[in-house]
């Protein structure tokens, strides 16, 4: 029997990709999205082209508790992806950021609780909940920074330290999602996601840096590197993230109430320009000029996820290499260049 999956932010990058996977498997999907993000309408059109009438779109906002509550009653699973996603936007508009991320997540949880049948809730959190991690010893190398004492990356046991309104709002949601398992028995799972990238991502300078650099390189737009370009991130291809969602639902007896750091881990970590730049130049076939700006507040010199808990408990491991994943993203942007011109 097919499940009915409600995806908030279903027209976004991650939501549309997950919807495509679920629909291809014969699952029922409701996309819940306010269509405010760039690319949302194109993503919906792509899904409708592939799956026709099977695509159910409800245009709504996570601040609308009543509509969410009505939809949750018919959902077997809720995947909560809707969010305000940029730190810079959160600093400019902290109230809006709070209402979307903190209150919006609360509305989703309440909708699930009031549904009565305890649908599992998967929540896309962020590594930003760990803050700037200024106490960690960092070693500077020729093309990158690295942790002196964390060979596997940052574990889930790392103390939380919310920086920026975005960190606070996403972190509040993160903790609410955990607690609704403890207090109400809802099967909830928190994914503290690192840099996720892939096709159908409309990256902008403030969010989705891998996609933004690819889009800018393909359309020959200027790229600004904030800092020295040696700051390191672990990157994860979209299909590997979706495997983690599937694995959590498959192993809900273990995953319910848990938090997982989900990213590429040490094997898929690289500096954002000193190492990523040469890879991108090779894939687009030309030299890319960049300019440098000052470091941005709270920008971690290194963030790498320790993904061993998810590997151990969910049997999940990333499969897509950085080379393969970035190649696919470059090809997708080249094929749809007219959207980004």
Q: β-pairing, 232-237 with 269-271?
A: antiparallel
pLDDT for res 298: 72
Express each pLDDT in 201-239 by its tens digit: 999 888 899 999 999 999 999 999 999 999 999 999 999
- List the one residue out of 132, 234, 136, 123 whose CA is nearest residue 180: 123
* Spatial CA neighbour of 200 closest among 237, 246, 158, 253: 237
Per-residue pLDDT tens for 315-330?
999 999 999 999 999 9
Q: In this predicted structure, what is the pLDDT of residue 177?
A: 98
pLDDT of 1 over the 80 cut:
no
Q: Strand 138-140 relative to strand 145-147: parallel, antiparallel, unpaired?
A: antiparallel
Length of the chain: 341
pLDDT in tens, 167-183: 999 999 999 999 999 99
Per-residue model confidence as pLDDT tens digits over 52-89: 999 999 999 999 999 999 999 999 999 999 999 998 89
pLDDT exceeds 90 at position 241: yes
User: The domain spanning residue 178 has which CATH number?
Assistant: 3.40.50.720
The domain tally of the chain equals 1
Nearest partner of 18 among 99, 66, 81, judged by Cα? 81
Three-state DSSP class for 286?
Answer: coil
pLDDT of the residue at 230: 98
Task: Tell me how far apart the alpha carbons of residues 311 and 326 are, in angstroms, rounded to a whole number.
Answer: 23
State the distance between the two ends of the chain, measured CA to CA, in whole angstroms: 44
CA distances (Å), origin 277, targets 37, 111, 182, 272, 341: 27, 44, 45, 7, 21
Question: What is the three-state SS of 144-194?
Answer: CEEECCCCCCECCCCCCCCCHHHHHHHHHHHHHHHHHHHHHCCCEEEEEEC
Give bridge partners of residue 119 from the DSSP assignment.
none
* Residue ranges making up the domain that contains 209: 4-340
pLDDT of residue 77: 98
What are 337's two structure tokens?
């260049």
Say what the pLDDT of residue 202 is: 95
User: pLDDT band for position 17 (50/70/90)?
Assistant: very high
pTM exceeds cut of 0.85: yes
Q: Greatest CA separation found in the chain?
A: 57
Residue 60 DSSP label? -
Pairing of the two strands 188-193 and 258-262: parallel
In the structure, what pLDDT confidence band is assigned to residue 300 with cuts at 50, 70 and 90? Answer: confident
pLDDT tens per residue across span 327-336:
999 999 999 9
Question: Among residues 166, 180, 197, 260, which one is catalytic?
Answer: 166
Average pLDDT score over the chain:
97
> Would residue 18 show up in a list of annotated catalytic residues for this protein?
no
What pLDDT is recorded for position 120? 98
- The pLDDT assigned to 103 comes to 98
Instruction: Please give the pLDDT value at position 299.
Output: 81
Residue 154's beta-bridge partner residues?
305
DSSP conformational letter for 204? B
């Amino acid at each position: 029997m097919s499940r009915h999956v409600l995806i908030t932010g279903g027209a976004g990058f991650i939501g549309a990709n997950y919807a495509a996977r679920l629909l291809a498997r014969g699952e029922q999907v409701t996309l819940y999205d306010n269509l405010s993000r760039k690319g949302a309408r194109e993503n919906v059109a792509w899904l409708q082209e592939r799956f026709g009438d099977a695509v159910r779109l409800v245009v709504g906002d996570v601040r609308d508790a009543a509509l969410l509550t009505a939809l949750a009653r018919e959902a077997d699973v809720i995947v909560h992806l809707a969010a305000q996603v940029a730190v810079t936007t959160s600093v400019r508009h902290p109230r809006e950021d709070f209402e979307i991320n903190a209150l919006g997540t609360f509305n989703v949880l309440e909708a699930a609780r009031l549904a009565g049948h305890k649908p599992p809730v998967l929540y896309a959190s962020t590594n930003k909940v760990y803050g700037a991690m200024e106490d960690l010893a960092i070693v500077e190398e020729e093309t990158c920074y690295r942790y002196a004492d964390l060979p596997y990356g940052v574990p889930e046991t790392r103390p939380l330290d919310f920086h920026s309104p975005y960190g606070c709002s996403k972190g509040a949601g993160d903790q609410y999602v955990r607690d609704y398992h403890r207090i109400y028995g809802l099967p909830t799972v928190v994914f503290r996601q690192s840099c996720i990238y892939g096709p159908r991502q409309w990256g902008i300078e403030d969010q989705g840096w891998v996609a933004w650099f690819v889009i800018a390189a393909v359309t020959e737009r200027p790229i600004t590197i904030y800092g020295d370009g040696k700051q390191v991130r672990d990157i994860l291809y979209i299909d590997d993230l979706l495997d983690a969602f599937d694995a959590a639902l498959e192993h809900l007896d273990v995953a319910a109430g848990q938090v997982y750091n989900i990213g590429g881990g040490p094997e898929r970590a690289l500096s954002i320009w000193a190492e990523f730049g040469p890879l991108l130049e090779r894939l687009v076939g030309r030299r890319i000029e960049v300019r440098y700006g000052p470091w941005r507040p709270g920008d971690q010199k290194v963030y790498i996820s320790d993904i061993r808990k998810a590997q151990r408990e969910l049997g999940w491991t990333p499969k897509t290499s950085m080379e393969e994943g970035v190649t696919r993203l470059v090809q997708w942007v080249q094929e749809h260049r007219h959207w980004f011109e």
